[in-house]
A = this chain, B = another copy of it.
Amino acid sequence: MKRSLAVGAALAAALAWGATRADVPSEVPGVAPAPPLSPHWVFLTDAAFFHLTEGKIVVVDGDQGKVVAKLSTGYLANSLISPDGKRLYVAETFWSRGTRGERTDVVTVYDMTTFLPVAEVRLPGRFLAVTQPYNMGLSADGRFLFLFNMTPATSVVVVDIEAGTVVGEISTPGCALVLPGKDKFVMPCGDGTFLQVTLDAAGRETSRGRTPKPVFDVDADPVSERPATTGTGYAFTTYGGMVHEVNLSGGDPVYAAPWSLTSAEEAAAGWRPGGWEQVAYSPHTNELFVSMHQGGPGTHELPGPEIWVYSLADKKKVRVIKPVEPVISIAVSRDDKPIVAAITETLALSVMDAASGAETVNLPGLLELGLVLETP
């Protein structure tokens, strides 16, 4: 250590002399602040299938095509951005010795101006599965975080993220995932019904109910577990190509009659939705974007060579986007100049103009198993 101090002093002397004739000014190394959140930022959650205990969240500026930050996560993390854009919530799992030892489940709260963790809430458990968005949800006011759990008994953990406390764990036998609405959440169940759980202002269950009969036929044509979040609730695609919309904007949830993504001819040609996050919604245009491919039963995760765009008002296809290569997951920004962000089958991030479909950014090599896309 003595040596390094001596060196430092000598260096400072050398620099003081050198600085007088420098063309490039001296710089003080530091840490860059995060740029202000843009509606065109894309958050990619990479489960890193070959190193599951060191996952990543890659934040990309979808306009500039540049990495904003890369955050390491624990095992099979989920993340959500707070409604005010000031916080990033990451649910993650660690073991005290990497892949063994004591298990710890937490929600880590990041400050979006520094991307540093500022708080942590310990969880009683969380669902461990290939990362998908509806493992975790946030109440509309941003106060409660809901985390699906499976042990394999199923439940929802309610966290008061403002207070930093776990409110409780709500048993939800036979039902999975968590889709928040106003003062409640709903969950699809194994028999095709939906469970709804209503909460009070403290996040505690006040009542629950199941739809009196199945909303969809779980054997013939199940809904995908990764719907789009629409202006009023959720739009689920089915394996076969129907859309089930759930309206959670009022009191009791309203389950609309399903409509078809395909004409009889298109269906006969095998067109159906596929991929991971296969459907996304643009609030600005009230359009639904669906990753479509031609295939049969069991192809519900095949990447889509086309993205079909529907007017949600008319339930009609309005245009087709042809991405540069088939897409696994898609997300659409919520602003008035929407972009489509897609993870392609080669795990590149492709950003397209939502209106024209023209690709504006293509970033290969970012991801190992980047399955989940979010925009603020």
Contacts and interface: CB of A to CB of B under 8 A. Distances in A.
Interface in A71-86: 72-74
Contacts of A53: 53-54, 72, 98
A97 interface: yes
A72 B4 CA distance: 36
Contacts of A153: 1
A74 B98 contact: yes
Contact of A54 (B1, B4, B98, B108): B98
B98 A96 contact: no
Contacts of A100: 72, 117
17 contacts: A1-B152, A4-B152, A48-B51, A50-B51, A51-B51, A51-B54, A52-B54, A53-B54, A53-B98, A54-B54, A72-B99, A73-B98, A74-B97, A94-B98, A97-B106, A97-B108, A100-B117
Contacts of A54: 51-54, 98-99
Contacts of A106: 97
A152 B2 CA distance: 11
A97 B96 CA distance: 8
A98 B117 CA distance: 13
A97 B94 contact: yes
Nearest to A73: B98
Nearest to A56: B51
Nearest to A52: B54
Contacts of A152: 1, 4
A21 B58 CA distance: 55
The residue in A54, A74, A104 that gathers the most chain B C-beta atoms within 10 A of its C-beta is A54
Interface string A91-113: 01010111110001010100000
